[in-house]
Structure 1
Amino acid sequence: MSINIDIDQANKDLQGKSPAEIVAWALEKAKNPIITTNFRPYESAILHLVAKQRPDIKVLWVDSGYNTDATYKFANKLIEDLNLNVVTYIPQQTRAHRDVTLGGIPGVDDAKHEVFTEQVKLEPFRRALSELKPDVWFNAIRKDQTEFRQGLDVLSQSKDGVLKVAPLFYKNDQDLDAYLEENNLPNEFDYFDPTKVEEHRECGLHTQL
Protein backbone atom coordinates (compact mmCIF):
# COMPACT_ATOMS: atom_id res chain seq x y z
CA MET A 1 0.00 0.00 0.00
CA SER A 2 1.48 3.34 -1.01
CA ILE A 3 0.56 7.00 -1.38
CA ASN A 4 1.33 8.62 -4.72
CA ILE A 5 2.84 12.03 -4.00
CA ASP A 6 5.80 14.12 -5.13
CA ILE A 7 7.93 13.75 -1.99
CA ASP A 8 10.38 16.51 -2.91
CA GLN A 9 7.56 19.00 -3.45
CA ALA A 10 5.72 17.83 -0.34
CA ASN A 11 8.84 18.34 1.77
CA LYS A 12 9.11 21.88 0.41
CA ASP A 13 5.43 22.49 1.18
CA LEU A 14 5.93 21.28 4.77
CA GLN A 15 8.92 23.53 5.47
CA GLY A 16 8.17 25.69 8.49
CA LYS A 17 5.10 23.67 9.47
CA SER A 18 4.73 22.63 13.10
CA PRO A 19 4.92 18.93 14.06
CA ALA A 20 1.17 18.96 14.72
CA GLU A 21 0.52 20.40 11.25
CA ILE A 22 2.74 17.75 9.67
CA VAL A 23 0.83 15.01 11.49
CA ALA A 24 -2.51 16.46 10.38
CA TRP A 25 -1.29 16.67 6.77
CA ALA A 26 -0.19 13.03 6.76
CA LEU A 27 -3.31 11.73 8.48
CA GLU A 28 -5.47 13.37 5.83
CA LYS A 29 -3.73 11.27 3.21
CA ALA A 30 -3.52 8.04 5.22
CA LYS A 31 -5.92 5.14 5.06
CA ASN A 32 -3.95 2.79 7.31
CA PRO A 33 -1.31 4.72 9.28
CA ILE A 34 0.96 3.31 11.96
CA ILE A 35 3.48 4.80 14.35
CA THR A 36 6.59 2.88 15.35
CA THR A 37 8.24 3.17 18.74
CA ASN A 38 11.02 1.57 20.76
CA PHE A 39 10.27 3.59 23.91
CA ARG A 40 13.68 5.21 23.81
CA PRO A 41 14.24 8.68 25.30
CA TYR A 42 11.76 11.32 24.08
CA GLU A 43 9.40 8.74 22.53
CA SER A 44 6.54 10.10 24.63
CA ALA A 45 6.64 13.24 22.44
CA ILE A 46 5.95 11.51 19.12
CA LEU A 47 3.43 9.12 20.69
CA HIS A 48 1.49 11.93 22.32
CA LEU A 49 1.71 14.13 19.22
CA VAL A 50 0.22 11.52 16.88
CA ALA A 51 -2.19 9.74 19.24
CA LYS A 52 -3.73 13.08 20.21
CA GLN A 53 -4.96 13.43 16.63
CA ARG A 54 -5.58 9.73 15.93
CA PRO A 55 -6.21 7.94 19.27
CA ASP A 56 -6.82 4.53 17.67
CA ILE A 57 -3.68 4.51 15.51
CA LYS A 58 -1.73 1.23 15.60
CA VAL A 59 1.49 1.65 17.58
CA LEU A 60 4.04 -0.88 16.36
CA TRP A 61 6.58 -1.96 18.97
CA VAL A 62 9.22 -4.47 17.92
CA ASP A 63 10.42 -5.70 21.31
CA SER A 64 13.88 -7.18 20.87
CA GLY A 65 13.81 -8.66 24.37
CA TYR A 66 16.93 -6.73 25.37
CA ASN A 67 15.33 -3.61 26.84
CA THR A 68 16.25 -2.41 30.31
CA ASP A 69 13.84 -2.79 33.23
CA ALA A 70 13.39 0.99 33.16
CA THR A 71 12.40 0.92 29.49
CA TYR A 72 9.77 -1.75 30.08
CA LYS A 73 8.35 0.22 33.02
CA PHE A 74 8.39 3.39 30.92
CA ALA A 75 6.58 1.56 28.10
CA ASN A 76 3.93 0.24 30.48
CA LYS A 77 3.31 3.73 31.86
CA LEU A 78 3.02 5.38 28.45
CA ILE A 79 0.75 2.65 27.08
CA GLU A 80 -1.57 3.12 30.04
CA ASP A 81 -1.39 6.92 30.32
CA LEU A 82 -1.90 7.57 26.59
CA ASN A 83 -4.21 4.57 26.07
CA LEU A 84 -2.06 3.43 23.16
CA ASN A 85 -3.23 0.81 20.69
CA VAL A 86 0.03 -1.15 20.79
CA VAL A 87 0.76 -4.04 18.46
CA THR A 88 3.87 -5.92 19.60
CA TYR A 89 6.11 -8.01 17.37
CA ILE A 90 8.95 -10.10 18.70
CA PRO A 91 11.84 -12.04 17.11
CA GLN A 92 11.16 -15.58 15.95
CA GLN A 93 14.05 -16.88 18.07
CA THR A 94 14.08 -16.68 21.85
CA ARG A 95 16.82 -14.69 23.55
CA ALA A 96 18.03 -17.82 25.35
CA HIS A 97 18.43 -19.73 22.07
CA ARG A 98 20.20 -16.78 20.45
CA ASP A 99 22.58 -16.39 23.39
CA VAL A 100 23.72 -19.96 22.90
CA THR A 101 23.91 -19.71 19.10
CA LEU A 102 25.60 -16.30 18.82
CA GLY A 103 27.22 -16.15 22.24
CA GLY A 104 25.31 -13.14 23.52
CA ILE A 105 25.23 -9.72 21.87
CA PRO A 106 27.97 -9.55 19.21
CA GLY A 107 30.11 -6.44 19.05
CA VAL A 108 29.55 -4.05 16.16
CA ASP A 109 32.79 -5.23 14.53
CA ASP A 110 31.79 -8.88 14.82
CA ALA A 111 30.49 -10.52 11.62
CA LYS A 112 27.68 -12.05 13.70
CA HIS A 113 26.31 -8.58 14.54
CA GLU A 114 24.60 -8.39 11.14
CA VAL A 115 22.85 -11.71 11.82
CA PHE A 116 21.89 -10.49 15.29
CA THR A 117 20.39 -7.25 13.92
CA GLU A 118 18.45 -9.19 11.30
CA GLN A 119 17.00 -11.52 13.93
CA VAL A 120 16.03 -9.04 16.64
CA LYS A 121 14.99 -6.00 14.58
CA LEU A 122 14.87 -6.18 10.79
CA GLU A 123 12.98 -9.45 10.33
CA PRO A 124 10.27 -8.58 12.90
CA PHE A 125 9.85 -5.13 11.32
CA ARG A 126 9.54 -6.55 7.81
CA ARG A 127 7.02 -9.10 9.08
CA ALA A 128 5.03 -6.37 10.81
CA LEU A 129 4.95 -4.11 7.76
CA SER A 130 3.93 -7.05 5.57
CA GLU A 131 1.07 -8.02 7.88
CA LEU A 132 -0.12 -4.56 8.96
CA LYS A 133 0.18 -3.11 5.44
CA PRO A 134 0.46 0.59 6.41
CA ASP A 135 0.46 3.40 3.87
CA VAL A 136 1.88 5.97 6.32
CA TRP A 137 4.60 5.24 8.89
CA PHE A 138 5.13 7.88 11.59
CA ASN A 139 8.53 7.72 13.25
CA ALA A 140 10.62 9.81 15.64
CA ILE A 141 13.86 10.15 13.68
CA ARG A 142 15.59 13.53 13.88
CA LYS A 143 18.17 15.14 11.64
CA ASP A 144 20.79 15.59 14.39
CA GLN A 145 20.83 11.93 15.46
CA THR A 146 23.10 10.30 12.86
CA GLU A 147 25.12 11.22 9.78
CA PHE A 148 22.77 9.18 7.58
CA ARG A 149 19.70 11.07 8.81
CA GLN A 150 21.25 14.42 7.93
CA GLY A 151 20.58 13.50 4.30
CA LEU A 152 16.88 12.84 4.88
CA ASP A 153 13.88 15.12 5.38
CA VAL A 154 10.47 15.08 7.09
CA LEU A 155 9.11 12.78 4.38
CA SER A 156 10.77 9.77 2.81
CA GLN A 157 9.68 6.41 1.44
CA SER A 158 10.35 2.87 2.54
CA LYS A 159 11.56 0.37 -0.03
CA ASP A 160 7.98 -0.94 -0.18
CA GLY A 161 6.61 2.51 -0.96
CA VAL A 162 5.25 3.33 2.51
CA LEU A 163 5.31 7.07 3.23
CA LYS A 164 7.61 7.64 6.21
CA VAL A 165 6.76 10.77 8.20
CA ALA A 166 9.07 12.29 10.81
CA PRO A 167 7.17 15.23 12.36
CA LEU A 168 10.01 15.98 14.82
CA PHE A 169 12.77 15.79 12.21
CA TYR A 170 14.07 19.34 12.74
CA LYS A 171 13.60 19.42 16.53
CA ASN A 172 16.38 19.07 19.09
CA ASP A 173 16.47 17.81 22.67
CA GLN A 174 15.69 21.24 24.06
CA ASP A 175 12.59 21.50 21.87
CA LEU A 176 11.41 18.11 23.04
CA ASP A 177 12.16 18.89 26.69
CA ALA A 178 9.85 21.87 26.35
CA TYR A 179 7.15 19.73 24.70
CA LEU A 180 7.32 17.11 27.45
CA GLU A 181 7.11 19.74 30.16
CA GLU A 182 4.22 21.52 28.46
CA ASN A 183 2.24 18.30 28.16
CA ASN A 184 3.35 16.75 31.47
CA LEU A 185 4.88 13.74 29.72
CA PRO A 186 7.45 11.35 31.22
CA ASN A 187 10.89 10.58 29.83
CA GLU A 188 13.37 7.78 30.42
CA PHE A 189 17.09 7.73 29.62
CA ASP A 190 17.97 4.23 30.85
CA TYR A 191 17.74 2.75 27.38
CA PHE A 192 19.93 0.40 25.37
CA ASP A 193 19.59 -0.70 21.75
CA PRO A 194 21.74 -3.79 21.21
CA THR A 195 21.67 -3.32 17.43
CA LYS A 196 23.11 0.21 17.63
CA VAL A 197 25.31 0.11 20.75
CA GLU A 198 26.73 3.52 19.87
CA GLU A 199 24.25 6.44 20.01
CA HIS A 200 25.13 7.96 16.61
CA ARG A 201 25.25 4.66 14.75
CA GLU A 202 22.41 3.47 12.49
CA CYS A 203 20.83 0.14 13.40
CA GLY A 204 19.82 -0.53 9.79
CA LEU A 205 16.08 0.00 10.15
CA HIS A 206 15.90 3.25 8.20
CA THR A 207 18.64 2.32 5.74
CA GLN A 208 17.20 -1.07 4.77
CA LEU A 209 13.41 -0.75 5.14
Structure 2
Amino acid sequence: MKNNQTAEYNTELRNKPALEIVRWGIARANGRAMVSTNFRPFEAVVLHLCTQVQPDIPVLWVDHGYNRSATYLYAEKLRDMLHLNLKIYLPKLTTAHRDAIYGPIPSFDDETELKKFSAMMKLEPFQHGMKELAPTVWFTALRKVQNPGRAKLDHLAEDKSYGTIKISPVFYWTDADMEAYLEQHNLPNEWDYFDPTKADEKRECGIHVI
Protein backbone atom coordinates (compact mmCIF):
# COMPACT_ATOMS: atom_id res chain seq x y z
CA MET A 1 0.00 0.00 0.00
CA LYS A 2 1.46 3.34 -1.07
CA ASN A 3 1.68 6.31 1.29
CA ASN A 4 -0.83 8.34 -0.73
CA GLN A 5 -3.26 5.40 -0.55
CA THR A 6 -2.85 5.30 3.24
CA ALA A 7 -3.60 9.01 3.46
CA GLU A 8 -6.66 8.62 1.23
CA TYR A 9 -8.00 5.72 3.26
CA ASN A 10 -7.47 7.63 6.51
CA THR A 11 -9.38 10.59 5.10
CA GLU A 12 -12.16 8.20 4.05
CA LEU A 13 -12.29 6.54 7.48
CA ARG A 14 -11.90 9.69 9.61
CA ASN A 15 -15.61 10.31 10.19
CA LYS A 16 -16.91 6.77 9.97
CA PRO A 17 -18.30 4.99 13.06
CA ALA A 18 -15.91 2.47 14.60
CA LEU A 19 -18.11 -0.48 13.60
CA GLU A 20 -18.00 0.65 9.96
CA ILE A 21 -14.22 0.89 10.14
CA VAL A 22 -14.09 -2.70 11.40
CA ARG A 23 -16.39 -3.82 8.57
CA TRP A 24 -14.21 -1.93 6.09
CA GLY A 25 -11.09 -3.72 7.35
CA ILE A 26 -12.56 -7.21 7.51
CA ALA A 27 -13.94 -6.85 3.98
CA ARG A 28 -10.35 -6.30 2.80
CA ALA A 29 -8.70 -8.99 4.91
CA ASN A 30 -9.38 -11.99 2.63
CA GLY A 31 -10.31 -14.05 5.66
CA ARG A 32 -7.10 -13.18 7.52
CA ALA A 33 -8.13 -10.50 10.00
CA MET A 34 -6.88 -10.57 13.59
CA VAL A 35 -7.23 -8.44 16.71
CA SER A 36 -4.57 -8.18 19.40
CA THR A 37 -5.25 -7.50 23.06
CA ASN A 38 -3.51 -7.21 26.41
CA PHE A 39 -6.73 -7.01 28.45
CA ARG A 40 -5.88 -3.57 29.74
CA PRO A 41 -8.72 -1.16 30.64
CA PHE A 42 -11.23 -0.56 27.82
CA GLU A 43 -10.06 -3.57 25.77
CA ALA A 44 -13.63 -4.90 25.81
CA VAL A 45 -14.56 -2.13 23.36
CA VAL A 46 -12.36 -3.19 20.44
CA LEU A 47 -12.98 -6.89 21.14
CA HIS A 48 -16.74 -6.34 21.08
CA LEU A 49 -16.52 -4.29 17.87
CA CYS A 50 -14.46 -6.93 16.07
CA THR A 51 -16.53 -9.91 17.20
CA GLN A 52 -19.72 -8.13 16.12
CA VAL A 53 -18.44 -8.27 12.54
CA GLN A 54 -16.50 -11.55 12.65
CA PRO A 55 -17.42 -13.66 15.69
CA ASP A 56 -14.52 -16.11 15.21
CA ILE A 57 -11.82 -13.49 14.58
CA PRO A 58 -8.51 -14.69 16.11
CA VAL A 59 -7.61 -12.74 19.25
CA LEU A 60 -3.85 -12.69 19.84
CA TRP A 61 -2.83 -12.35 23.48
CA VAL A 62 0.73 -12.57 24.77
CA ASP A 63 0.53 -13.72 28.37
CA HIS A 64 3.98 -12.80 29.66
CA GLY A 65 3.04 -14.30 33.03
CA TYR A 66 3.35 -11.13 35.10
CA ASN A 67 -0.26 -9.97 34.85
CA ARG A 68 -2.18 -9.27 38.02
CA SER A 69 -4.93 -11.64 39.12
CA ALA A 70 -7.61 -9.13 38.14
CA THR A 71 -6.31 -9.06 34.56
CA TYR A 72 -6.54 -12.85 34.26
CA LEU A 73 -10.08 -12.80 35.67
CA TYR A 74 -11.02 -9.99 33.25
CA ALA A 75 -9.62 -12.01 30.33
CA GLU A 76 -11.67 -15.07 31.29
CA LYS A 77 -14.80 -12.98 31.75
CA LEU A 78 -14.47 -11.43 28.30
CA ARG A 79 -13.62 -14.78 26.74
CA ASP A 80 -16.89 -16.19 28.09
CA MET A 81 -19.01 -13.11 27.34
CA LEU A 82 -17.80 -12.54 23.78
CA HIS A 83 -16.95 -16.17 22.93
CA LEU A 84 -13.46 -15.04 22.02
CA ASN A 85 -11.36 -17.17 19.70
CA LEU A 86 -8.41 -16.53 21.98
CA LYS A 87 -4.93 -17.44 20.75
CA ILE A 88 -2.55 -17.30 23.70
CA TYR A 89 1.20 -17.10 23.15
CA LEU A 90 3.68 -17.62 25.96
CA PRO A 91 7.38 -16.81 26.46
CA LYS A 92 9.89 -19.63 26.22
CA LEU A 93 10.67 -19.21 29.93
CA THR A 94 8.18 -19.23 32.80
CA THR A 95 8.26 -16.24 35.14
CA ALA A 96 9.87 -18.35 37.89
CA HIS A 97 12.57 -19.59 35.50
CA ARG A 98 13.32 -16.08 34.19
CA ASP A 99 13.41 -14.54 37.66
CA ALA A 100 15.73 -17.25 38.96
CA ILE A 101 18.24 -16.59 36.17
CA TYR A 102 17.92 -12.85 35.57
CA GLY A 103 16.52 -11.53 38.84
CA PRO A 104 13.40 -9.45 39.48
CA ILE A 105 11.58 -7.34 36.92
CA PRO A 106 13.83 -4.42 35.87
CA SER A 107 13.04 -1.02 37.32
CA PHE A 108 11.34 1.55 35.10
CA ASP A 109 14.50 3.68 34.85
CA ASP A 110 16.71 0.81 33.59
CA GLU A 111 15.99 1.12 29.85
CA THR A 112 18.62 -1.43 28.76
CA GLU A 113 17.31 -4.21 30.99
CA LEU A 114 13.69 -3.29 30.26
CA LYS A 115 14.33 -3.75 26.53
CA LYS A 116 15.86 -7.19 27.16
CA PHE A 117 12.94 -8.11 29.42
CA SER A 118 10.36 -6.94 26.85
CA ALA A 119 12.11 -8.78 24.03
CA MET A 120 12.19 -12.05 25.93
CA MET A 121 8.81 -12.05 27.63
CA LYS A 122 6.61 -10.16 25.15
CA LEU A 123 8.11 -9.49 21.73
CA GLU A 124 9.36 -13.00 20.99
CA PRO A 125 6.00 -14.68 21.71
CA PHE A 126 4.19 -11.86 19.86
CA GLN A 127 6.36 -12.38 16.80
CA HIS A 128 5.66 -16.10 17.01
CA GLY A 129 1.93 -15.39 17.11
CA MET A 130 2.06 -12.99 14.18
CA LYS A 131 4.04 -15.48 12.10
CA GLU A 132 1.56 -18.26 12.87
CA LEU A 133 -1.62 -16.22 12.34
CA ALA A 134 -0.16 -14.21 9.42
CA PRO A 135 -2.87 -11.52 9.34
CA THR A 136 -3.36 -9.23 6.36
CA VAL A 137 -5.39 -6.90 8.62
CA TRP A 138 -4.52 -6.38 12.29
CA PHE A 139 -6.98 -4.55 14.55
CA THR A 140 -5.68 -2.76 17.62
CA ALA A 141 -7.06 -0.64 20.46
CA LEU A 142 -4.48 2.13 19.91
CA ARG A 143 -5.84 5.60 20.70
CA LYS A 144 -4.48 9.08 20.14
CA VAL A 145 -4.84 10.05 23.81
CA GLN A 146 -2.71 7.18 25.13
CA ASN A 147 0.73 8.72 24.76
CA PRO A 148 2.55 11.41 22.72
CA GLY A 149 4.04 8.89 20.28
CA ARG A 150 0.65 7.52 19.31
CA ALA A 151 -0.82 11.00 18.84
CA LYS A 152 0.85 11.27 15.42
CA LEU A 153 -0.74 8.06 14.10
CA ASP A 154 -4.16 7.54 12.51
CA HIS A 155 -6.86 4.90 12.00
CA LEU A 156 -4.82 3.00 9.45
CA ALA A 157 -1.11 2.31 8.97
CA GLU A 158 1.01 -0.15 7.07
CA ASP A 159 3.06 -2.26 9.48
CA LYS A 160 6.05 -3.38 7.44
CA SER A 161 7.49 -5.36 10.35
CA TYR A 162 4.68 -7.89 10.03
CA GLY A 163 3.53 -7.25 6.45
CA THR A 164 0.05 -6.26 7.56
CA ILE A 165 -2.35 -3.33 7.57
CA LYS A 166 -2.90 -2.11 11.14
CA ILE A 167 -6.33 -0.61 11.84
CA SER A 168 -7.26 1.21 15.04
CA PRO A 169 -11.04 1.73 14.85
CA VAL A 170 -11.29 3.75 18.09
CA PHE A 171 -8.18 5.84 17.46
CA TYR A 172 -9.92 9.20 18.03
CA TRP A 173 -12.09 8.09 20.95
CA THR A 174 -11.72 9.67 24.38
CA ASP A 175 -11.96 7.79 27.68
CA ALA A 176 -15.51 9.15 27.97
CA ASP A 177 -16.37 7.64 24.56
CA MET A 178 -14.98 4.30 25.70
CA GLU A 179 -16.90 4.43 28.99
CA ALA A 180 -20.13 5.23 27.13
CA TYR A 181 -19.65 2.26 24.80
CA LEU A 182 -19.04 -0.10 27.72
CA GLU A 183 -22.19 1.14 29.43
CA GLN A 184 -24.28 0.95 26.26
CA HIS A 185 -23.31 -2.69 25.66
CA ASN A 186 -23.13 -3.81 29.30
CA LEU A 187 -19.44 -4.65 29.02
CA PRO A 188 -17.09 -4.92 31.99
CA ASN A 189 -13.93 -2.91 32.58
CA GLU A 190 -10.94 -3.56 34.81
CA TRP A 191 -8.51 -1.00 36.19
CA ASP A 192 -6.05 -3.10 38.19
CA TYR A 193 -3.67 -3.48 35.27
CA PHE A 194 0.08 -3.12 34.99
CA ASP A 195 2.40 -4.19 32.18
CA PRO A 196 5.98 -4.57 33.45
CA THR A 197 7.30 -4.80 29.87
CA LYS A 198 6.25 -1.16 29.39
CA ALA A 199 6.85 0.12 32.95
CA ASP A 200 4.76 3.22 32.33
CA GLU A 201 2.02 4.33 29.93
CA LYS A 202 4.24 6.67 27.93
CA ARG A 203 6.73 3.95 27.04
CA GLU A 204 6.27 1.53 24.15
CA CYS A 205 7.15 -2.14 24.67
CA GLY A 206 8.15 -2.55 21.01
CA ILE A 207 5.08 -4.23 19.50
CA HIS A 208 3.86 -0.98 17.97
CA VAL A 209 6.65 0.73 16.06
CA ILE A 210 5.91 4.46 16.36
Secondary structure, aligned partner of 1:205: coil
Assess if the C-alpha contact under 8 Å between 1:146 and 1:202 holds in 2.
Answer: no
Contact residue 142 and residue 170 of structure 2 kept, 8 A: yes
Q: Is 1:7 matched with 2:3?
A: no
The number of residue pairs the alignment matches comes to 206
1:48-63 map, 5 Å: 48-63=48-63
Q: For the residues of structure 1 that align with 2:121 and 2:25, how far apart are their CA atoms?
A: 29
Q: Distance in 2 between matches of 1:82 and 1:160?
A: 27
**What is the distance in 1 between the residues matched to 2:175 and 2:8?**
28
CA distance in 2: counterparts of 1:191 and 1:108, whole angstroms: 16
Equivalent residue, structure 1, for 2:104: 104
2:130–2:162 CA contact under 8 A, matched in 1? no
Residues 68-104 of structure 1 deviation map (CA, whole Å, 9 limit, x = unaligned): 1011001001000110100100001111111022211
* 1:105-124 equivalence runs, <5 A: 105-110=105-110, 111-124=112-125
Q: C-alpha displacement at 1:4, in angstroms?
A: 7.4
TM-score relative to the length of structure 1: 0.95
How far the C-alpha of 1:200 sits from its partner, in A, is 2.2
Quote how far apart the aligned CAs of 1:160 are.
Answer: 2.8
Q: Indicate whether 1:94 and 2:99 are aligned.
A: no
Following the alignment from structure 1 to structure 2, what is the Cα–Cα distance between the partners of residues 157 and 107?
Answer: 33
Percent sequence identity is: 48
Partner deviation per Cα, 1:149-181 (whole Å, 9 max, x = no partner):
011100012223200000000001100100000
Q: TM-score, normalised by structure 2?
A: 0.94
Report SS of the residue matched to 1:140: coil
Q: Distance in 2 between matches of 1:103 and 1:151?
A: 36
2:135 matched to which residue of 1?
A: 134
- 1:102, 1:112 within 8 Å by CA — same for their partners in 2? no
Which ranges in structure 2 are unaligned for 5 or more consecutive residues?
Answer: none
Contact 1:156 1:163 in 2 (8 A): yes
- Unpaired runs of 5+ residues, structure 1, are none
3-state DSSP of counterpart to 2:209: helix
